[in-house]
Amino acid sequence: MPTIIDGNALAATIRGEVAEKVADLVATHGITPGLNLLLVGEDPASTVYVRNKGKDCENVGIRSTIVRLPATATEDEVIACVQAWNADDSVHGILVQLPLPKHIDEHRVLRTIDPEKDVDGFHPVNAGKLMIGLDGFIPCTPYGVLEMLTRYNIETSGKHVVVVGRSNIVGKPLAMLLAQKRSPGNATVTICHTGTPDIAEHTRRADIIVSAVGMHGLITADHIRDGAVVIDVGINRITLADGTTKLVGDVDYAAVAPKASAITPVPGGVGPMTRAMLLQNTLTAAIRKARQ
Ligand code: NAD
């Protein structure tokens, strides 16, 4: 049977480590890390995500402030909010919950965030730093995957990693990170996407497969070779025969797990790690500020 990579347990460990370091920062510098979250509109999923992120902060001693603007808020109002937080020294991290209403230019808003407070790692400065191997902020999901690989002692150096999905927040940054000459990393990385005619042709040669697509059942037993490591980033809600719904990943877990050497479940895999890494990034932002 494969090693089940337990994202819940790992995230709890990371939260414990962050809480200790937050207490240390308060004791030594009198600084309480602060994360400000902006929610525009009333999308139910976004509302839950933001509330959970706020609760996560409180649990580790990070101060969190949630500001809600109506769906009718203008782009300038959103930008003014971000600019005020940029100028506020008690705010170490800024998170604008995506997606924003359609009339607002998401890229313009993200570009307004001070890169030193960009704990989601979506600002072009942080994307650029990631690309050339400088310390910035790594987007939380790729960061969580790296932590999983590190803490489960999964070697990436010299391995062939296939990342399925090329989004700016998961697939692309993760592929870049794993290709870099450091640990974890130093892998030969293939990126598959909607333009790839035969994904299985690539994934079958992979030592490590990361699927970040959002399509349940995309990765089947036929897509992997014996002993591969399978990281499932996908989150999909499916309706069962009895009408109830269930969260599943991209991977056909029951069929793939027996062939894998290690695998992440959904839920309880990458999801909790993403949440934990936001706390780590906020702490990092506060520590960097304290050292200035
Ligand atoms: P996205 O829609 O921005 O990107 C999906 C990518 O998959 C695209 O690059 C696209 O080219 C590729 N793709 C789509 N269909 C494909 C196919 N049939 N074959 C190959 N490639 C295909 O999504 P995203 O934001 O990167 O998220 C991907 C998935 O991961 C979603 O299910 C999302 O809910 C989930 N997600 C999970 C976490 C987490 O914490 N676990 C975090 C972020 C996203």
Tokens of 270: 């990458």
Residues 168 and 243 in one domain: yes
Residues 176 and 107 in one domain: no
Is the shortest distance between the CB of 170 and ligand 1 below 6 Å? yes
Q: Count how many domains the chain has.
A: 2
- pLDDT the model gives residue 273: 98
DSSP code, position 168: T
- pLDDT the model gives residue 114: 98
- pLDDT the model gives residue 264: 98
- pLDDT the model gives residue 111: 98
Residues 78 and 160 in one domain: no
Q: By C-alpha distance, which of 60, 65, 97, 63 is closest to 78?
A: 97
Q: What is the CATH number of the domain that holds 260?
A: 3.40.50.720
- pLDDT the model gives residue 199: 98
- pLDDT the model gives residue 203: 98
Angle at 248 between CA 246 and CA 249, to 5 degrees: 165
- pLDDT the model gives residue 233: 98
Residues 180 and 82 in one domain: no
Is the shortest distance between the CB of 235 and ligand 1 below 6 Å? yes
Domain-located, residue 131: no
Report the separation in Å between the CA atom of 28 and the middle of ligand 1, taken as the mean of its atom positions. 41
Tell which of 115, 132, 165 closes a domain. 115
Report the separation in Å between the CA atom of 24 and the middle of ligand 1, taken as the mean of its atom positions. 37
How many whole angstroms separate alpha carbon 120 and alpha carbon 130? 13
Report the separation in Å between the CA atom of 42 and the middle of ligand 1, taken as the mean of its atom positions. 23
Catalytic residues: 53, 97, 120
Domain-located, residue 280: no
Residues 59 and 168 in one domain: no
Residues lower than pLDDT 70 in the chain: none
Is the shortest distance between the CB of 192 and ligand 1 below 6 Å? yes
Residues 167 and 60 in one domain: no
Domain-located, residue 163: yes
Residues 151 and 261 in one domain: yes
- pLDDT the model gives residue 53: 98
Q: By C-alpha distance, which of 70, 62, 51 is closest to 20?
A: 62
Q: Which atom, in ligand 1's list, is nearest to the CA of 218?
A: 18
Is the shortest distance between the CB of 166 and ligand 1 below 6 Å? yes
Residues 150 and 225 in one domain: yes
- pLDDT the model gives residue 174: 98
How many whole angstroms separate alpha carbon 52 and alpha carbon 56? 6
pLDDT digits 0-9 by tens, 248-273: 999 999 999 999 999 999 999 999 99
Question: Which one of 97, 141, 145, 167 would you pick to mutate in the ligand 1 pocket, going by the greatest count of ligand atoms within 8 A of its CB?
Answer: 167
Residues 146 and 64 in one domain: no
Domain range for 167 is 140-271
How many whole angstroms separate alpha carbon 66 and alpha carbon 64? 7
Domain-located, residue 92: yes
Q: By C-alpha distance, which of 211, 212, 190 is closest to 201?
A: 190
Report the separation in Å between the CA atom of 67 and the middle of ligand 1, taken as the mean of its atom positions. 28
Residues 266 and 146 in one domain: yes
- pLDDT the model gives residue 285: 98
Residues 107 and 144 in one domain: no
Domain-located, residue 120: no
Residues 151 and 265 in one domain: yes
